[in-house]
């Protein structure tokens, strides 16, 4: 299990390969990667991600530890960036490994649902029009109810 | 003495990322009332609690949670990571 | 949309990066990779994968086309190997890209469920004890009912 | 004339991957009956239809499907890809 909260860019493919190479006995690997989308008006200059150092690592560790236990994962990985990003940059990724696919999929979705609404990150879109904090989506909070 | 941290637009409205406060507030709600009485910018930041979240010593908590023994309180909007 | 049925090994990370680089406007990328697990007794020599050339490509194209439409995907990818593989080799992968994560996850699971039970591949485990065709799992057939 | 293909253990039991057959079988079931009557190895391969699947011109089909116009019939066990 690895949790990384970092301002540096990461290489999604290289991280996926490194994760897969270290796993023992898994038959299924799922990755999710979140990418900075352009703003609605197509003029995103910067996506700024703020976080709460200390609490972020705690929250992610709690969520990942629960996923490991609940789905008997062979391994799991969470990487999340903060700082200034641009459209098409990867923001974050999770990876899960398990014997069969159902557990790897469920655990990856669980990690994403909890990370979205329980890990202290906030996104701000900076465009030519100005700067706007991204609003939380009701459906993200609602997604937690399924677990 | 308690550390109070602000993030995202809460930080921007209040105008600082953290401060150390001498308080005898018993709960988070009491602390919010105390801060809001201080200055308009606090009252504005805390005007709609449904759009706020609070963490006590880096764990999410409710607004009626007691502050006894707490060293760090953080206020912020709903998270938008991922 | 890309479908590849090949005997050559593939690099999961490189394929994931190539897929991500070509996608426009997606905020979410999900990958699933299936890995050759060792046999129950830990002595897998070779995993041999047979397929039905012609029907395989048709079946995968049908499944992927349905996933693209049903979840309005930005893109999707299916790679599946045949021939002789060894423990820890990647067998196959799917990747999906969409605006939000729910569609990318659902589409990837749909692709996997249909690929498992509707694409004409058959696995044979060759160990020191002999050769055995892998039996289909009832739960794989049952998984189709949810879509 | 129809091409009949066999995969996985069906291929191994029958002992060949494909053959061209002159048949007037009206349905897949009729074709199976005809082949099973030929030789023991066919009867063995087709003894339990619940463990077999059939495709007509590369599309999965039912055993009672008609063969009119079909050029390629394939028999194989349930798929195990992925």
D76 touching C (Cβ < 8 Å): yes
Q: Note whether C20 and C97 are within 8 A (CB).
A: yes
Q: CB–CB of A12/A36 below 8 Å?
A: no
* pLDDT for residue D28: 98
Query: Most C CBs within 10 Å: which of A10, A32, A93, A138, as the mutation test of the C interface?
Result: A32
Domains in chain D, number? 1
Closest chain A residue to B11 measured between Cα atoms?
A50
B81 occurs within a structural domain:
no
Q: Which of A127-131, D2-6, D51-55 has the lowest mean pLDDT?
A: A127-131
Give a yes or no: residue D53 inside a domain. Answer: yes
Contact across the interface for A12 and C17, Cβ inside 8 Å: yes
**D79 vs chain C: nearest CA distance in angstroms?**
5
Q: DSSP character for D27?
A: B
What pLDDT is stored for residue D10 in this prediction?
98
In a domain, D82, yes or no: no
Residue D47 within a domain = yes
Residue D27 has pLDDT above 90, yes or no: yes
Distance from CA of D39 to the nearest CA of C (A): 24
Question: Considering chain D, what is the average pLDDT of its residues?
Answer: 97
Residues spanned by the domain of B17 = 2-76
Please give the pLDDT value at position A41: 79
Q: How far is CA D81 from the centre of its chain?
A: 20
pLDDT tens digits for range A1-34: 999 999 999 999 999 999 999 998 899 999 999 9
* Structural domain contains residue D64: yes
Which residues in chain C are contacts of D79 at CB distance < 8 A? Answer: 116-122, 136
CB contact under 8 A, B82 and A112: yes
What is the sign of the dihedral through the CA atoms of B73, B77, B78 and B80? negative
Half-sphere exposure of A60 (CA within 13 A, CB side): 26
From chain D, the residues in CB contact with C134 under 8 A are 80
**Domains within chain C, CATH numbers bracketed:** 2-145 (3.90.1170.40)
List the CATH number of the domain containing B6.
3.10.20.30
Angle at C94 between CA A11 and CA D81, to 5 degrees: 135
pLDDT bracket for residue C42 (50, 70, 90) = confident
Rounded to the nearest integer, the mean pLDDT of chain C is: 95
Q: What does C23-61 look like in DSSP terms, one character per residue?
A: --S-SEEEEEEEEPPPPTTS-EEEEEEEE-TTHHHHHHH
Closest chain C residue by Cα to residue D58 = C55
Residues of chain C with pLDDT > 70, as a percent, come to 100
- What residues contact residue C63 under an 8 Å CB cut-off, 6+ apart? C78, C110, C111, C114, C115, C118, C119
Closest partner CB to D7 (pick from C115, C117, C122): C122
User: In whole angstroms, what is the distance from residue A30 CA to residue A106 CA?
Assistant: 9
Tell me which chain A residues have a C-beta less than 8 angstroms from the C-beta of B82: 34, 80, 91-92, 112, 115-116, 119, 121, 140
pLDDT tens for each residue of A34-86: 999 987 778 899 999 999 999 999 999 999 999 999 999 999 999 999 999 99
Q: Given an 8 Å threshold on Cβ–Cβ distance, is C27 in contact with A17? A: no
- Give residue for tokens 């696919």: A101
- Of A84, A86, A77, A83, give the one whose Cα is nearest residue A31: A77
The mean pLDDT value for D19-37 works out to: 97
Say if the Cβ atoms of B82 and A135 lie within 8 Å: no
Residue D68, min C-alpha distance to chain C (Å) = 20
pLDDT tens-digit map of A90-121: 999 999 999 999 999 999 999 999 999 999 99
Among the residue ranges B31-35, C38-42, C91-95, D47-51, the one predicted with the least confidence is C38-42
State the smallest CA–CA distance between residue C123 and chain A in angstroms: 14
Helix or strand holding residue D35 (H, E)? helix D28-38
Q: Could you give the CA distance from residue C95 to residue A12 in angstroms, rounded to a whole number?
A: 13
Q: What is the pLDDT of residue C40?
A: 76
* Per-residue confidence (pLDDT) for residue A115, from 0 to 100: 96
Mean pLDDT, residues C118-125 taken together: 97
Is the pLDDT reported for residue B35 higher than 90?
yes
Cα separation, C10 vs A16, whole angstroms: 13
User: Does residue A123 sit at the C interface (CB-CB below 8 Å)?
Assistant: no
Half-sphere exposure of C23 (CA within 13 A, CB side): 35
Question: CA-based angle D8:D14:D18, to the nearest 5?
Answer: 75
Phi, psi for residue C76 in degrees, rounded to 5? -150, 155
């Amino acid at each position: 299990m690895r949790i990384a909260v970092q301002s540096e860019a990461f290489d999604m493919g290289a991280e996926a390969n490194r994760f897969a190479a270290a796993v023992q006995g898994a038959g299924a690997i799922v990755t999710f990667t979140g990418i900075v989308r352009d703003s609605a008006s197509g003029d995103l200059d910067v996506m700024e991600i703020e976080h709460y150092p200390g609490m972020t690592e705690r929250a992610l560790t709690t969520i990942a530890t629960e996923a490991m236990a609940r789905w008997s994962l062979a391994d799991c990985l969470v990487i999340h960036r903060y700082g200034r990003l641009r459209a098409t940059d990867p923001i974050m990724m999770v990876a899960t490994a398990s014997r069969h696919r159902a557990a790897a999929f469920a655990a990856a979705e669980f990690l994403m649902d909890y990370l979205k609404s329980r890990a202290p990150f906030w996104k701000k879109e900076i465009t030519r029009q100005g700067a706007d904090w991204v609003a939380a989506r009701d459906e993200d909070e609602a997604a937690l109810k399924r677990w | 003495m308690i550390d109070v941290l602000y993030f995202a637009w809460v930080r921007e409205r209040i105008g600082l990322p953290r401060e150390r406060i001498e308080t005898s507030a018993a709960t988070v709600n009491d602390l919010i009332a105390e801060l809001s009485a201080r200055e308009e910018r606090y009252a504005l930041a805390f005007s709609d609690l449904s759009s706020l979240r609070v963490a006590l010593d880096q764990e999410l908590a409710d607004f009626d949670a007691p502050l006894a023994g707490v060293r760090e309180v953080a206020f912020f909007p709903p998270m938008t990571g991922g």
